Amino acid sequence: MSAPVFIAGLGVVSAIGNNVAECLTAFQSQQAGLGSITHLNTIHSGQLPAGEVKMDNDALALKAGLPPHISRTALLSTIAAREAWQDAGLHRLRGLRTGFVSANTVGGMDKTEHFFQQFLPDHRHGRLREIIHHECGSITELTADQLGIRDYITTISTACSSSANAIAFGSRLIQFNAVDVVVAGGVDALARFTLNGFHTLMILDHQFCRPFDDNRKGLNLGEGAGYVVLVSQKVAGLLGQTMYCRLSGYANANDAYHQTASSPEGTGSFLAMRSALEMSGLEPGDIDYINLHGTGTQNNDIAEGTAIRRLFDPNYPKMSSTKSFTGHTLGASGGMEAVFSALSIRHGIIYPSLRLETPMKELPFVPQTKFLKDVPVNHVLSNSFGFGGNCTSLVFSK
């Protein structure tokens, strides 16, 4: 990339922690956040595990400083984005042109579902305040208001690559001098619509997911939010603190193979990874760690694995799927995993893939199964591949 873009702050809330420090501790202890569904009112509670954030809406609202009738999506977004903002120290600077690029796929659907549950039997019932923030962009605007961001606000929704695309777009805004700072990432909360939809596709595992295991049965859904603060080189100097890393490359590709499946050859995955590496000026051998998209479905893991083999064979970097900890958080996954990638570089750590016992017979490599620390991590490749073949890869560099 011509003009460097740095990551100055991180914020995350997930099934394994309510902030960055708690998530890092969970990784170190190899403690997953998957379990029975308790906060979402669903017939699948007790049958399908998920990665729920361990706070109810009242607790989230108190932490976010918003009323409890606001969508869970907006509450999670505000908590994580505010942590990233404060971590970057942006409150110390004035006069910066600041943007907020946030992704989600569910909007305020959790509250919409509650409204219609009361409204349909009797049209005199139901609170209209539960549906006014239904659409995805409304969630972004609620969080931007909390942060006081006015210069540039937009929402991206490209399925599971959404927040990775938000980070790529945020970087472009800085490179083209449209803004000085961008808070970029994404959020998604669990909703019955999402859970039922994935269950209909028959790609949910009734046990804890096993990404890249030969006996994998599917994914576990999760919820959460993850944001990074992207800054120009000038702002990085003004902040006067050590940056986490650089966003050195990114790319989006689409294989247009199927509405909900990746091409068996992993065409979109391969193109996204290769193009991101080209932008960063790196060779495959320079990558120290791959944060896999790694959902645990039959189709996704073989497609991603085939693309990795094509690009990296015969020298494979360490790799793992952090979704084995958090579940698949859909529109939030790219943002959350960008946070985890930056932490990998800052602390010299490699995350494990949990519950991986039988390596996939089709692939010549095996993801990492133990937490590693004090290892040199200079470059991380993070993959986020969505429905419709929308594939995005990000490269983070020390």
Does residue 144 register a pLDDT over 90? yes
Are domains 5-239 and 248-397 of this chain identical in fold?
A: yes
Instruction: Return the structure tokens found at 117.
Output: 């549950």
- Give me the pLDDT at residue 142, please: 97
209 classed as catalytic: no
Are β-strands 245-254 and 289-291 bridged in parallel, bridged antiparallel, or unpaired? unpaired
Q: Nearest Cα to 221, choosing from 35, 26, 12, 358?
A: 35
CA gap 91, 64 in Å, rounded: 17
Give the CATH number of domain 248-397. Answer: 3.40.47.10
Q: Give pTM, 2 decimals.
A: 0.96
- Give me the pLDDT at residue 1, please: 61
**Three-class SS state of 144:** helix
Give the model confidence (pLDDT) of 315-362 as tens digits: 999 999 999 999 999 999 999 999 999 999 999 999 999 999 999 999
- Give me the pLDDT at residue 274, please: 98
Confidence band (pLDDT; 50, 70, 90) for 262?
confident
Does residue 50 register a pLDDT over 80? yes
- Give me the pLDDT at residue 356, please: 98
160 classed as catalytic: yes
CB atoms within 10 A of CB 291: 28
Give the model confidence (pLDDT) of 192-248 as tens digits: 999 999 999 999 999 999 999 999 999 999 999 999 999 999 999 999 899 999 999
| CA separation, residue 50 to residues 14, 28, 390 (Å) | 11, 21, 24
- Give me the pLDDT at residue 255, please: 82
**Do residues 138 and 66 touch, judged by C-beta distance below 8 A?**
no
**Do residues 373 and 348 touch, judged by C-beta distance below 8 A?**
yes
Instruction: Return the structure tokens found at 342.
Output: 């930056």
Highest CATH level, class, for 5-239: alpha beta
Q: Catalytic: which of 23, 136, 160, 391? A: 160
Bridge partners for 250 per DSSP: 394
Average pLDDT value for residue range 248-255: 94
- Give me the pLDDT at residue 295, please: 97
CA gap 199, 99 in Å, rounded: 36
Average pLDDT value for residue range 99-111: 95
391 classed as catalytic: no
Q: Catalytic: which of 44, 133, 134, 328? A: 328
Q: Catalytic: which of 39, 114, 134, 293? A: 293
Confidence band (pLDDT; 50, 70, 90) for 260?
low
**Do residues 197 and 330 touch, judged by C-beta distance below 8 A?**
no
Helix axes 267-280, 298-312, angle to 10 degrees: 40
Q: Domains of the chain: which residue ranges?
A: 5-239, 248-397
Does an H or E element contain 211, and which? Answer: none
Q: Nearest Cα to 349, choosing from 289, 275, 271?
A: 289
